[in-house]
A and B are shown apart, each in its own frame.
Chain A
Amino acid sequence: QVQLVQSGAEVKKPGASVKVSCKASGYTFTGYYLHWVRQAPGQGLEWMGWINPNNGATNYAQQFQGRVTMTRDTSISTAYMELSGLRSDDTAVYYCARESNGGFHFWGQGTLVTVSS
């Protein structure tokens, strides 16, 4: 069965960077785009960008341009999302999600990133 397993919670200081991983299993990793979506406390869902695991192509939401980098390692079927220049308003749960046949059918369990001095 399809599974996306994310790395554990992180606590970071303002200005630092965080790198969240998303390990895929149960399907061909290079066959589907992976998206990153976040939800800040009390807020809605915010799309951050996608990566094509087949060729590493990426597309980032404008508000994260210059701060986010999405990469992948096909040898271990894992995608990564790195966010730099962290601010307190980056405190959120970050999700990876697999796109297929309309919508995001599979999601990781989420990774809480807390930014606090």
Chain B
Amino acid sequence: DIVMTQSPDSLAVSLGERATIHCKSSQSVLYGSSNKNYLAWYQKKPGQPPKLLIYWASARESGVPDRFSGSGSGTDFTLTISSLQAEDVAVYYCQQYYSPPPTFGPGTKVDI
């Protein structure tokens, strides 16, 4: 199985400041023939289901604010929240869907 790691475990960011979360996969999730990275990011708030933010490593899901962006390729990825809002307090998970089983990172808690 592909193992996903995230850093940091948690971070506190002031309102309006940038939050950066890192995700690393134990093997590349870049599919050569399509040049797509099989990597997604989710936001999880208590009492709510996970919400897809980013797929294909950098494609923003419809309706997701443009302060959320994803980057990276191969084994190293980043989720950036450019200007943290109060409603962004949540746990963020990366997920690879390159190779079954799909696996999630352990999560990064973002707080104010």
8 A Cβ contacts from B72-104 to A: 93, 95, 97, 100-104
Chain B residue nearest to A101 (CB atoms) is: B55
Q: Interface majority SS on A: helix, strand, loop or mixed?
A: strand
Q: Which of A95, A97, A102, A109 contacts B55 (CB 8 A)?
A: A102
Q: Report the number of A-B residue pairs with Cβ-Cβ less than 8 Å.
A: 57
| Chain A residue contacts of B93, Cβ below 8 A | 44-45
**Size class of the contact patch on chain B:** 20 to 34
**Inter-subunit contact A35/B102 (CB<8 Å):** yes
Q: How many residues of A contact B (CB 8 A)?
A: 22
Chain B residue nearest to A106 (CB atoms) is: B52
Task: State the A residues within 8 Å of B (CB).
Answer: 35, 37, 39, 44-47, 59, 61-62, 95, 97, 99, 101-105, 107-110
